[in-house]
């Protein structure tokens, strides 16, 4: 019996080591697969165009330069400086639109999510799934309607029009995230606040909302990233120079006669950096907010 126990224990340990090796190898492979495009984008952004087009091709650039970023800042002149000069202005437009949409989503989405989580009213489930259905529609299907309405209202080629369009796409997502998170908060907190003299809004604002940090971060972060990276709506609705956001401007650099891939990579790296930093800083809260409500009891 002792020999058999030792044998089984040793066999179990060997299986554990093998499983750990497979696990770590899989995690490493997935991490490299996800990180490699971002790393290569950075490598391309600090390389000269001639080295990228040289043969034989090398993964490690023989020369490193920051001229591509200087071109975006207007410190170095080159053939596509007109298009590159739009990068910083379009980044500012993207930032303004993304922050405004995120703020509107956090105000309206959290309030609606709290109402769906705490109250019972007619057509509650129907309206909730109607919100979800609007998120399932392909974006390109709604573009003609947005184009006609915004042109009639004078909102075409304005950041206000983009804010309205983006809110229609992102608000249902925020409502569902916050509803799921509010359902994980005990309703006894609301009742205790009501007993202590708070009205319903005060209970929501002073008691429930302060403990909803992960849900707010998750909804706000994903809303910000969706707006920051959106391309189709901004490309079609905002064609006037100075009113579009970063993705269409970067895509427009591919239309130059002589395409400068290094400058495009530098623009893409600058455009990806805010979203990457946002995820790295708030990763823990985003995971908590998105997984809220997945386990009952």
Is the confidence at residue 167, as pLDDT, over 50? Answer: yes
- Can you give the pLDDT at residue 4? 47
Residue among 141, 140, 133, 131 at smallest CA distance from 108: 131
What percent of the chain lies above the pLDDT cut of 70? 90
Count of CB atoms within 10 A of residue 269's CB? Answer: 19
Q: How far is CA 296 from CA 57, 148, 252, 293, in A?
A: 54, 45, 49, 7
Supply the CATH classification number for the domain 87-291. 1.10.3720.10
- Can you give the pLDDT at residue 228? 92
Residue among 76, 77, 75, 46 at smallest CA distance from 63: 46
Average pLDDT score over the chain = 84
- In order, the DSSP letters of 192-212 are HHHHTT--HHHHIIIIIGGG-
Judge contact between 215 and 289, C-beta under 8 A: yes
Is the confidence at residue 6, as pLDDT, over 70? Answer: no
- Can you give the pLDDT at residue 164? 93
Q: How far is CA 283 from CA 1, 103, 221, 280, 287, in A?
A: 49, 19, 10, 5, 6
pLDDT greater at residue 152 or residue 55? 152
Q: Kindly list the domain boundaries of the chain, sorted by start residue.
A: 2-72, 87-291
Supply angle C-alpha 71, 75, 81, rounded to 5: 45
Backbone region of residue 242 per phi and psi (left: phi > 0; alpha: psi in -120 to 50; beta: other values):
left
Segment 56-80 mean pLDDT: 83
- Can you give the pLDDT at residue 194? 87
Q: Band of the pLDDT at 18, cuts 50, 70, 90?
A: confident
- Can you give the pLDDT at residue 297? 45
Q: Band of the pLDDT at 14, cuts 50, 70, 90?
A: low
Q: Band of the pLDDT at 152, cuts 50, 70, 90?
A: very high
Write the secondary structure of 163-178 as one string of H (helix), E (strand) and C (coil). Answer: HHHHHHHHHHHHHHHH
Segment 80-94 mean pLDDT: 85
- Can you give the pLDDT at residue 293? 52
H helical segments located in the chain? 2-45, 49-52, 67-72, 81-84, 87-118, 124-136, 139-153, 159-182, 188-195, 200-203, 213-229, 232-237, 246-252, 261-291
Predicted TM-score (pTM) of this structure: 0.83
**Residue 20, φ and ψ in degrees, nearest 5:** -65, -40
Sign of the four-CA dihedral 276, 238, 160, 219: negative
- Can you give the pLDDT at residue 165? 93
In total, the chain counts a number of residues equal to: 297
Is the confidence at residue 71, as pLDDT, over 50? Answer: yes
Segment 167-186 mean pLDDT: 89
Sign of the four-CA dihedral 99, 105, 106, 107: positive
Is the confidence at residue 97, as pLDDT, over 90? Answer: yes
Backbone region of residue 4 per phi and psi (left: phi > 0; alpha: psi in -120 to 50; beta: other values):
alpha
- Can you give the pLDDT at residue 159? 92
Which DSSP category does 59 fall into?
S
Digit-coded pLDDT (tens) for 207-253 = 888 888 888 888 888 899 889 989 999 998 888 888 889 999 888 88
Q: How far apart are CA 225 and CA 252, in angstroms?
A: 21
């Amino acid at each position: 019996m002792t020999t058999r126990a030792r044998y089984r224990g040793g066999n179990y340990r060997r299986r554990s080591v093998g499983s750990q090796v497979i696990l770590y190898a899989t995690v490493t492979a997935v991490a490299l697969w996800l990180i490699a495009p971002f790393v290569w984008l950075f490598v391309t952004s600090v390389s000269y165009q001639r080295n990228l087009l040289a043969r034989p091709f090398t993964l490690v650039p023989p020369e490193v330069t920051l001229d591509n970023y200087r071109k975006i800042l207007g410190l170095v002149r080159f053939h596509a400086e007109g298009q590159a000069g739009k990068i910083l202005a379009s980044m500012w437009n993207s930032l303004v639109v993304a922050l405004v949409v995120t703020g509107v989503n956090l105000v309206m989405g959290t309030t609606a999510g709290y109402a769906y989580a705490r109250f019972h009213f007619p057509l509650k489930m129907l309206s909730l799934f109607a919100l979800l259905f609007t998120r399932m529609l392909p974006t390109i299907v709604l573009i003609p309607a947005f184009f006609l309405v915004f042109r009639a209202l004078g909102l075409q080629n304005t950041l206000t029009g983009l804010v309205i369009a983006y809110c229609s796409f992102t608000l249902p997502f925020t409502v569902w995230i916050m509803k799921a998170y509010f359902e994980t908060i005990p309703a006894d907190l609301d009742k205790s606040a009501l007993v202590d003299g708070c009205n319903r809004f005060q209970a929501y604002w002073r008691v429930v909302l302060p403990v909803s940090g992960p849900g707010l971060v998750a909804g706000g972060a994903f809303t910000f990233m969706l707006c920051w990276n959106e391309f189709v709506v901004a490309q079609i609705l905002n064609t006037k120079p100075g009113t579009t956001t970063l993705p269409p401007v970067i895509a427009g650099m591919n239309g130059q006669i002589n395409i400068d891939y290094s400058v495009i990579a530098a623009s893409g790296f600058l455009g990806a950096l805010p979203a990457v930093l946002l995820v790295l800083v708030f990763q823990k809260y985003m995971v908590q907010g998105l997984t809220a409500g997945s386990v009952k009891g």
